Structure 1
């Protein structure tokens, strides 16, 4: 399989941590329910390809996301997360509320994730709550998780644009990030949920967060590729000191609660770029491509990932 020619650019990190969201964020947008055995095999293949952070599922109410109604079954198939086949791998589960926290703790999940919108409109569409009410819910989850010895990642959605409100003020995003940090989130992912960001917006937001005292190492970026900007936005984020990037194997995903939200940045496309820049990822690209080809075959359609189409 062809590999990219390695040509580094000065000023980029030596290593980037890839936070794989395909098994949760990637599959949640699928209308046809994927068998839980396939989901478990997907997770195993992603880990076998070298990915060290794989978000597994969400303890959301099945009425809202039927695709993830099998969360407990999936965890049972994968075994104990801390000592079983996923030992040594970050394997977070998204938790929307106190009931989700109970379910996560009952399955001894070591890392949880919470999400809050930077905008009022999406908070009400996604959680049926105001932004402040959503922050209050995330605060309850974080408090309970930390008390139980778990770590918590935070997501901020609609960081650059909202389908109902239009452009998003960077100051609003900063306020939410600061609130999540105060609650105790160890890492906060900045989401371009509808894929409208351009590199200048990324720099402006990161500068605003730095001015508010948020260090780069506490942040991750999560770009969607609606306008084909995900890789360029990622590169500028790396140049600004970001070292954790969210992506989805095969470019799966979107958002069932946001109009016009298309797929996530494809992990294969990201790895091709990073390896071409001489940046270490720990990922075996041929194994990852084979995984996405396998999954695309099961789903009956070609992968939207450019790298998968080129290499698969």
Structure 2
């Protein structure tokens, strides 16, 4: 069976029902210092109840769609706090996983001339598939994948981008071997890929929240630290010398509030998520059900792909 690309509304009664399902979204893959890619994964049998609960949260919050980058008011904050609480509860009872991969464009892998950010995103998807679908769930799981339809990922070109890398780096022992589009079904047991609108899928909105929060925690940690100190009603020496660092926008304050609340939920559930010590959300045990994974170069030859120069 080859992978099918279906519109969200398409019904295929002849396809084999998957055992697991995953939703993906990315954040700032080509802007700023840090990029992020997130996946929420769960058993297919849990899908209906999870979506029902998430829909109820959004409706009660009077939101048609939640987006991290639009978090600027109390209404969005209250919705985000409810979504965070729900996700932590479901993850702690192993009803779902959240795996968020972030990368630093200032590291040795990404500081290359003419970097191809879309091809690099393809590589990151590969790493996410390998580490979640193959290593965090049972080996015989069969998958249905729902990426945000507005993703920069070009699914039909995966073979082109990753296939070339596979040939070039095949002999490198400590580097993950990328897979072609054909291999997604064979290696990862992905039966169908259904790009869909985030406004129609609450679980994509949940991924958007956690991926956005992960990137924000790394790129704007200093702002969070200032916010936390201010809200703890403590005055640091830095604030006395540079009071301007306290001037956070309304959106930044709301985001910091959500980040801080999430940290507290993780502490209560003992989920092993670090924030202060790493100056950004990070999970040191990838087996944990909420895993913030910082990509690190795997080998000295592990370099981000570059755009080929056009011939004159």
Q: Would you call these one fold, judging by a TM-score over 0.5?
A: no
TM-score by length of 1: 0.26
**Structure exhibiting the larger radius of gyration computed from Cα positions:** 2
TM-score by length of 2: 0.26
Report 1 or 2 for greater relative contact order, CA contacts < 8 Å, sequence distance ≥ 6.
2
